């Protein structure tokens, strides 16, 4: 039985990853540690809460003792580290929480993995560590790290710390840097669920600046498959870019959702631009495709339809998020 530690598994990508892995492998046990911040939603994994192949431990990765105890109790075959403060807007208002969770929290995990000689450590980073691009060009794994927001700077800090543990201590760290994810179970403060849920309620949809900022969209299940491939075939010490080949402006993405839901474009409301807003992210995932034998399978139009359908079908999920009911008992 392979034993995997997943951090941040109650969040958007972590929960989809756990579901992906448990649906594919019978010989796998997953321990999910999550602090249950506002972004951690146990509803995401209610279907497997009582599975023998899964265990949830509420733990904060900024607490070295808690992290140490979990590693001491369980020899893990691998760690997949998602836990982070992840929302750029919040990082502009409360940067300290990002430095603590993303830098200090990652440090404690790396230390525990070093101490207990964990044979594989996947650090889930982001394309935002590369900073911003002009109208042309792509980020490769060799691009310099030039983060522009407190969020991306804290992720760059943790990314470099992870690298240093590979270089200095020989910890088998693999770093993945992915583009913008979309799909089921994403917290409604992020762009695509915001568009979908506001459109469903006929509410104004706020779009930063003139809406021409470009992002590369990656279906979350394609991302999960890429991390699975990195776990199986990735080489320790390497960095892998994971992108979707779907560059769109924020305005294009908004129009796509409005068309699908047959809602008017008059819902779009331009608001003052985000401070330090990166103009364009575009990722070159050629190395990952070549070396890990992975490719993003989902076309954006299809993935968006399925995502919209998920939010429409799972009304009780997002109503519990909207009302704050998912926070009960914390």
Ligand X SMILES: NC(=O)c1ccc[n+]([C@@H]2O[C@H](COP(=O)([O-])OP(=O)(O)OC[C@H]3O[C@@H](n4cnc5c(N)ncnc54)[C@H](O)[C@@H]3O)[C@@H](O)[C@H]2O)c1
Q: Which of 43, 60, 159, 216 binds ligand X (CB under 6 A)?
A: 60
Q: Measured from the CB atom, is 82 or 107 closer to ligand X?
A: 82
**Neighbouring C-beta atoms of residue 58, cutoff 10 Å:** 14
Q: Measured from the CB atom, is 118 or 149 closer to ligand X?
A: 149
Rounded to the nearest angstrom, the gap between the alpha carbon of residue 326 and the centroid of all alpha carbons in its chain is 20
Q: Is 67 in the site for ligand X (CB under 6 A)?
A: no
Using CA atoms, how far apart are residues 195 and 163, in angstroms rounded to an integer? 36
Options 128, 222, 247, 289, the catalytic residue? 128
| CB contact at 8 A, 208 and 215 | no
Site for ligand X in 117-146 (CB under 6 A): 124, 126
Site for ligand X in 178-237 (CB under 6 A): 178, 180-181, 187
- We find the least distance from the C-beta atom of residue 77 to ligand X, in angstroms, to be 21
Q: How far is CA 96 from CA 99, 104, 148, 149, 242, in A?
A: 5, 11, 15, 12, 28
Using CA atoms, how far apart are residues 315 and 132, in angstroms rounded to an integer? 36
The residue range among 21-29, 84-92, 161-169, 285-293 that interacts with ligand X, by the rule CB under 6 A, is 84-92
- We find the least distance from the C-beta atom of residue 11 to ligand X, in angstroms, to be 2
Q: Is 317 in the site for ligand X (CB under 6 A)?
A: no
Q: Is 159 in the site for ligand X (CB under 6 A)?
A: no
Site for ligand X in 18-57 (CB under 6 A): 34-37, 39-40
- We find the least distance from the C-beta atom of residue 168 to ligand X, in angstroms, to be 22
Using CA atoms, how far apart are residues 198 and 229, in angstroms rounded to an integer? 35
- We find the least distance from the C-beta atom of residue 102 to ligand X, in angstroms, to be 7
Q: What tokens appear for 209 in the block?
A: 């600046």
Q: Is 219 a catalytic residue?
A: no
Q: Is 242 in the site for ligand X (CB under 6 A)?
A: no
Rounded to the nearest angstrom, the gap between the alpha carbon of residue 149 and the centroid of all alpha carbons in its chain is 17
| CB contact at 8 A, 228 and 176 | no
Q: Measured from the CB atom, is 264 or 329 closer to ligand X?
A: 329
Largest CA-CA distance found in the chain, in angstroms, rounded? 57
DSSP-derived secondary structure letter, 129 = G
Size of the site for ligand X (CB under 6 A): 29
Q: Is 128 a catalytic residue?
A: yes
Q: Measured from the CB atom, is 125 or 263 closer to ligand X?
A: 125
Using CA atoms, how far apart are residues 198 and 269, in angstroms rounded to an integer? 11
Q: Is 82 in the site for ligand X (CB under 6 A)?
A: yes
Q: Measured from the CB atom, is 36 or 171 closer to ligand X?
A: 36
Q: Is 83 in the site for ligand X (CB under 6 A)?
A: yes
- We find the least distance from the C-beta atom of residue 187 to ligand X, in angstroms, to be 5
Q: Measured from the CB atom, is 54 or 263 closer to ligand X?
A: 54
Q: In this chain, which residue has its C-beta nearest to ligand X? A: 11
Q: What is the DSSP string of 279-327?
A: -B--B--HHHHHHH-------HHHHHHHHHHHHHHTHHHHHHHHHTGGG
Categorise residue 262: left if φ over 0, alpha if ψ from -120 to 50, beta otherwise.
Answer: left
Q: Measured from the CB atom, is 61 or 112 closer to ligand X?
A: 61
Site for ligand X in 249-278 (CB under 6 A): none
DSSP-derived secondary structure letter, 102 = I
Catalytic residues: 127-128, 151
Which residues bind to ligand X, rule: CB under 6 A? 8, 10-14, 34-37, 39-40, 60-62, 82-86, 101, 105, 124, 126, 155, 178, 180-181, 187
């Amino acid at each position: 039985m392979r034993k995997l530690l997943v951090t941040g598994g109650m969040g958007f990508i972590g929960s989809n990853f756990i579901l992906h892995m448990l649906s594919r492998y019978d010989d796998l046990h997953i321990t999910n540690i999550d602090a249950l911040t506002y972004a951690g939603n146990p509803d995401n994994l209610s279907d497997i809460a009582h599975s023998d192949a899964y265990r949830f431990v509420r733990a904060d990765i900024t607490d070295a003792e808690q992290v140490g105890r979990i590693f001491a109790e369980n020899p893990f075959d691998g760690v997949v580290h998602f836990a982070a403060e992840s929302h750029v807007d919040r990082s502009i208002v409360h940067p300290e929480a990002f430095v603590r969770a993303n830098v200090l929290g990652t440090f404690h995990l790396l230390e525990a993995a070093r101490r207990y000689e964990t044979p594989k450590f996947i650090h889930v980073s982001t394309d935002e560590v590369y900073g911003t691009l002009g109208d042309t060009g792509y980020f490769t794994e060799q691009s310099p790290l030039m983060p522009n927001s407190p969020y991306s700077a804290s992720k760059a800090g943790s990314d470099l710390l992870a690298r240093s543990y590979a270089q200095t201590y020989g910890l088998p760290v693999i770093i993945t840097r992915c583009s913008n994810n979309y799909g089921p179970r994403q917290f409604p403060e992020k762009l695509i669920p915001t568009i979908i849920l506001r459109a469903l309620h006929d509410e104004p949809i706020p779009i930063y600046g003139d809406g021409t900022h470009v992002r590369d969209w990656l279906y979350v299940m394609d991302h999960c498959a890429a991390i699975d491939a990195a776990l199986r075939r990735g080489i320790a010490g390497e960095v892998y870019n994971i992108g979707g080949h779907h560059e769109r402006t924020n305005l294009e993405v908004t129009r796509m959702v409005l068309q699908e839901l047959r809602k008017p474009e008059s819902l779009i409301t331009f608001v003052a631009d985000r401070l330090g807003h990166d103009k364009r992210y575009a990722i070159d995932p050629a190395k990952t495709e070549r070396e890990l034998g992975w490719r993003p399978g989902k076309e954006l139009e299809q993935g968006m339809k399925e995502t919209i359908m998920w939010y429409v079908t799972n009304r009780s999920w997002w109503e519990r998020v909207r009302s704050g009911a998912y926070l009960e008992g914390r």
